[in-house]
Chain A
Amino acid sequence: MMWTKYYTNQIELAKHVSKSLPINTKLVINDHPVQWGARDWGFYSELINTYNIEVMHVDVDTRKIIQNVEIVFTITSSAGLEALIYDTPVVTIGRPKYAPFYANFDFVNNVKNPYEISESLNTATNSSTDYDQLSAYIAAILEIGSSPSSPRHNKNFLEQIEMYLR
């Protein structure tokens, strides 16, 4: 949430997105697994009661959702990177272009305020992943080192640390 301090009210943001969608389109929300149980049930019930919003259970595979939706809206989630790998258009909300990670790609659409969400739908549906750029970005992370949101090559590193710390 570092880059999106104006979008910390996620219910309002979800409603903004849902109102920007065409009338026959649904907004499917997949909350972060860590948040499951941490939030009050009222959070989810308010979302579910919105006419075109569906909330997925924590155990639903994110990849199946990504592969069956037209656009992925995300604030700062790594699901955006996963969507790019599956060539699903991504719209990031509130992230300036100078932000790190995948928001810097030309083929990632960035929305700076809620009024731009509906406009972004058209541009997003026409955009597709440039796999050369994506590969170069992942290659750079593999070479330089990992951030907390880095791909799974962290596994060995973490296992080594855990082994030593036990």
Chain B
Amino acid sequence: MLKFLQARIKFVEKLFEDNKFEFVFSYMAQMAPSMIVYEFCNRESIPFFRPHHSRIKDLRIVYDNIYEYSDIVWERANEILANKSASESFDQATKFIQDVQNGDDLYYTNRNRASSTVLDKLYHAAEIFWWEKGGITTQYYYDTPKIKYLQKRFKKSMGKNC
């Protein structure tokens, strides 16, 4: 367990040493790597964004200005729109839209097992049967003893007060 944590913490620590992040956007805040990143963000006072969820009480938001990221995106989008001929990103985005219209995936969801190998297809089919049987339930892991334990271990492994 400790090696599992140490390996991840070592990587994140190096990432924070080598780069100066203005903000961090967590993909899945409830997963262990994101939790480690959160602790580093908290220590360095770096804004930490995470997907919003209204059903659960999220204790781990240090930066709660939910409009700021959106404002930055829209401000930059308007700048690009005003000067689209000089923007490489605009051409890239146009190509992206055309690619999607021609059949490319809009998102990388890692859920495309049905179109992979035979074994993947079988696994996918089995998973569908299992889902349809009602084998999976929605669970939220915040505030559980397991998470509190893990958070303590993160802090202890980092050896600093976060």
A residues within 8 Å of B by Cβ? 1-2, 5, 8, 33, 36-38, 40-41, 58-59, 63, 78, 81-82, 85-86, 98-101, 104, 131-149, 151-155, 158, 161, 164-165
Contact = CB atoms under 8 A, between A and B. Distances in A.
Nearest to A36: B131
B73 A140 contact: yes
Nearest to A4: B54
Contacts of A136: 77-78, 80-81, 84, 90, 93
Nearest to B87: A139
Contacts of A154: 27, 107-108
Contacts of B72: 144
Contacts of A144: 72-73, 76
B74 interface: yes
Given A37-B130, A137-B73, A132 B81 contact: yes
A139 B25 contact: no
Interface of B: 7-8, 11, 25-28, 33, 49, 51-55, 66-67, 69-70, 72-74, 76-78, 80-81, 84, 87, 89-90, 92-94, 96-97, 100-101, 103-111, 114, 128, 130-138
Contacts of B76: 140, 143-144
B11 A165 contact: yes
Contacts of A153: 96
Contacts of A100: 66-67, 69-70, 73-74
Contacts of A165: 7-8, 11, 33
Contacts of B130: 37
A100 to B, nearest CB: 3
B108 to A, nearest CB: 4
State the main secondary structure of chain A at its contact with B.
helix
A86 B81 contact: no
Contacts of B133: 37
18 contacts: A37-B131, A37-B134, A40-B134, A59-B128, A78-B107, A98-B67, A138-B96, A139-B87, A139-B90, A139-B93, A140-B73, A140-B77, A140-B80, A143-B76, A143-B80, A147-B69, A155-B108, A158-B27
A144 B55 CA distance: 29
Contacts of A142: 89, 92-93, 96
Interface centre among B28, B107, B136 (most CB of A within 10 A): B107
B128 A58 contact: yes
Given A37-B130, A78-B107, A161 B33 contact: yes
Nearest to B135: A37
A3 B148 CA distance: 28
Contact of A134 (B11, B97, B103, B131): B97
* Residue among B8, B106, B111, B114 with the highest chain A CB neighbour number at 10 A: B106
Contacts of B66: 2, 100
A141 B73 contact: yes
Contacts of B107: 78, 149, 151-152, 154
A158 to B, nearest CB: 7
Contact of A101 (B25, B70, B80): B70
